[in-house]
A and B are shown apart, each in its own frame.
Chain A
Amino acid sequence: MRTLRYQRPEGVEAAVSAVNATPGARYLGGGTNLVDLMKLGVETPDLLVDVSGLPHHDIEELPGGGVRIGAAVRNSDLAADPLVRTRYPVVSQALLAGASDQLRNVATVGGNLLQRTRCLYFQDAGKPCNKRAPGTGCPAIEGVHRNLAILGASPHCVATHPSDLAVALAALDAQVLVEGGTGPREIPLTELHRLPGDRPERDTVLEHGDLITHVRLPAAPEAVNSAYRKARDRASFAFALSSVGAALEVRDGLVHRVRLALGGVAPKPWRARAAEERLRGAPATPEAFTRAVEAELSVAEPLRDNAFKVPLTRHLAVRVLCDLAGRAGGPR
C-alpha cells in the first residue's frame, strides 16, 4: 500500500474542495471496498478524505411519501429501518442479501453504490484489464467470466456491477444527490452507472470530486409489495450470479404497476424496461411474466461459460413476480 494522508473534513464543502484539489485523493466511506483494493494495489490514493463522519446519517420521511437516505448511513442500519422495511422491502432485502453482517455494519450507502467490479482480472494488478489499465485488453472475454455480464457489455469489458442495493434502487427510480463544488445536482440511479462501451475505466458519470450526499426514494405505493431475490454459489455471503428486484400491483387480475430490475448480469443495475412495458395491463399470470422477461433477455449475449445466467435470470424473475402476484405456479 502507498503512504497516504488522511483527513476528516469539517463539512461537505471542505470534503469536496480537498478531493477536487488533489488528483490522487479518494473519499473514504466504510472502506470495505477501497481498503481492499488498496491492499491489492488496484487503488493507490495519496489522500483519503473520510466522509463517514459528515452529517449524512439520517433516514428522513419526505412530504409526499418519499424517503431521503444519507450517504453515510450504514448498510445494516438502512436494512433495519422500519420505514424502509415497510414501504420499500426490496431495499431492505437487497441489502440483507449482500455481504455479511460484519461488512454491512461498516459499509455506507454512498460506498455501496460506487463499489468496483469483482472481476478477478480487475482485482489482480499483475493482469491486463481495460477497466483498471485502459488499453491493456480484456482477458475475461476468453478467460474466467462465469460470473460476468450477459447484457450491456462491450468488446472492451464484460464486467458486472456487484451491488445488490443498486438493483433495488434502480427498480424504484431512486435519485442520487451529488455535490461537486458547483452546487448540488440529482442523478437518476439508472443513469449513475455507465455501460462500458470503449471507456470501461469509467464506471459512473461522476467526475473526480463529486460527493454523493443522499439517495432519495420517490413515493411508490406499489413498492409495499416488492421483493429481492438473489441466486449465488453459496446459500449466503456471496455475490450474485443473478438477482431480481421487483415491485408489483395487480388490479382485477391485470398488472397495474410493475417495476423490475436485474443484478449480476450487466455492467450496471439493469432496469428491465422492455419487460415492464409488456407487463403493464397484461394478465398477472406466469405465462405473461415469462413472455415479458424473455423479451427483456432476448438481447442477452452470453459468453462461453455464462449462458446459464439466461434461464437462471428468467426463472428468478418469473418466480419473484409470481410470488408478488400471490399465486402459485411458475417455475420452481
Chain B
Amino acid sequence: MDSRLLTSAVTLRVNGTVHRLTLDNRSTLLDTLREDLDLTGAKKGCDHGQCGSCTVLVDGRRVNCCLLLTVACDGSEITTVEGLSDGWSLHPVQEAFLARDAFQCGYCTPGQVCSAVGALREMAEGRPSAVTVGTEPPSGAAEIRERMSGNLCRCAAYPNIVRAVGDAAERAAEWWERTP
C-alpha cells in the first residue's frame, strides 16, 4: 500500500500556536503532544481512558486525549496545562491547587487541573451531573466529587482537590474571562 495513505497532514492550534504536522494516522493526541510538540504536562497514566491524567481541553471541552486520534482533531483548538498559565502568573485553578496543597506526587495534577477548568465551565453552563437535582444551578462538594470522578489520584489527595476546585468555583466570576 502507498505509505502516504497511512499518514495525514494535520493542523492543530495548541495553546495559541498553530502547528502543521504530518502524522501516522495511529497517533493519539497524547503522543502527539508529548512526543512531537514536547508538551509533557499531559501524562500517560493508563492509556485507556480510565484515569484522567491525560485530560486536556479540545475546543473548550475536557477530554481524555489518550483515546483521541490526532488526525480526528484536525483543525481543533487545544489547551494543555502549559497553556493555562500566563508566564509566572498561574491560572486561578492552579493557584487554588497550590493554596490547598491538592497533590502529593503531582502525577495526576495536570489532568486534575485541566479537568477542573472544564468542569467549572460545564457547571457555569448549567450542564447537569449525575447528582444534580432538578434544574437548580449545580454547586457544592457533592457536585465537584462527581464531576471530578474521571480523574483518579493514586496518592488519594481527593479531599484537598475537592476544596481547591471549590475555591476556584467561588472565584469563577472573576477569572472566567481568562479561561480559554
Give residues in A with beta carbon < 8 Å to B: 1-6, 28, 30-32, 35-36, 38-39, 48, 50, 52, 76, 79-80, 85, 92-93, 96-97, 99-103, 105-106, 234-237
Interface status of B157 (Cβ within 8 A of chain A): no
Given contacts A5-B5, A100-B149, A101-B119, contact A35 B69 (CB under 8 A): yes
Q: Is the CB of A102 within 8 A of B128?
A: no
Nearest 4 A/B pairs, CB to CB: A100-B150, A236-B149, A96-B130, A6-B25
Rounded to whole angstroms, the CA-CA distance of A235 and B8 in the bound complex is 41
Q: Is the CB of A3 within 8 A of B68?
A: no
From B24, B26, B67, B127, give the contact of A76 (CB < 8 A): B127
Rounded to whole angstroms, the CA-CA distance of A76 and B6 in the bound complex is 31
Q: Chain B residues near A235 (CB, 8 Å)?
A: 145, 149
Q: Is the CB of A101 within 8 A of B150?
A: yes
Given contacts A101-B119, A101-B122, contact A3 B26 (CB under 8 A): yes
Rounded to whole angstroms, the CA-CA distance of A235 and B148 in the bound complex is 12
Q: Is the CB of B48 within 8 A of A97?
A: no
Chain A: minimal CB distance from B142 (Å): 10
Q: Is the CB of B128 within 8 A of A92?
A: yes
Q: Is the CB of B71 within 8 A of A6?
A: yes
Give the tally of cross-chain contacts (CB within 8 A).
104
Interface status of B13 (Cβ within 8 A of chain A): no
Given contacts A36-B49, A100-B149, contact A4 B26 (CB under 8 A): yes
Chain A: minimal CB distance from B46 (Å): 10
From B47, B61, B145, give the contact of A105 (CB < 8 A): B61
From A3, A28, A36, give the contact of B72 (CB < 8 A): A28
Interface status of B118 (Cβ within 8 A of chain A): yes
Interface status of B28 (Cβ within 8 A of chain A): yes
Given contacts A4-B6, A5-B25, A48-B25, contact A101 B147 (CB under 8 A): yes
Interface status of B129 (Cβ within 8 A of chain A): yes
Count residues on chain B whose CB falls below 8 Å from chain A CBs: 39
Q: Chain B residues near A102 (CB, 8 Å)?
A: 49, 52, 55, 62-64, 115, 118, 150
From B55, B125, B127, B146, give the contact of A236 (CB < 8 A): B146
Chain B: minimal CB distance from A26 (Å): 12
Chain B: minimal CB distance from A106 (Å): 5
Given contacts A5-B6, A35-B67, A50-B72, contact A103 B150 (CB under 8 A): yes
Rounded to whole angstroms, the CA-CA distance of A39 and B1 in the bound complex is 22
Q: Is the CB of B127 within 8 A of A80?
A: yes
Q: Is the CB of B150 within 8 A of A96?
A: no
Sampled A-B contacts (26; CB under 8 Å): A1-B26, A3-B6, A3-B24, A3-B25, A4-B6, A4-B26, A30-B67, A31-B67, A31-B72, A35-B28, A35-B67, A38-B26, A76-B122, A80-B125, A80-B126, A93-B130, A99-B150, A100-B150, A100-B151, A102-B55, A102-B63, A102-B64, A102-B118, A103-B150, A236-B130, A237-B150
Bitwise, B15-55 to A at CB < 8 A (1) or not (0) is 00000000011101000000000000000000111001001
Q: Is the CB of B48 within 8 A of A6?
A: no
Q: Is the CB of A39 within 8 A of B47?
A: yes
Given contacts A80-B127, A96-B129, contact A105 B62 (CB under 8 A): yes
Q: Is the CB of B128 within 8 A of A96?
A: yes
Chain A: minimal CB distance from B59 (Å): 10
Given contacts A6-B25, A101-B122, A103-B64, contact A32 B49 (CB under 8 A): yes
Chain B: minimal CB distance from A36 (Å): 5
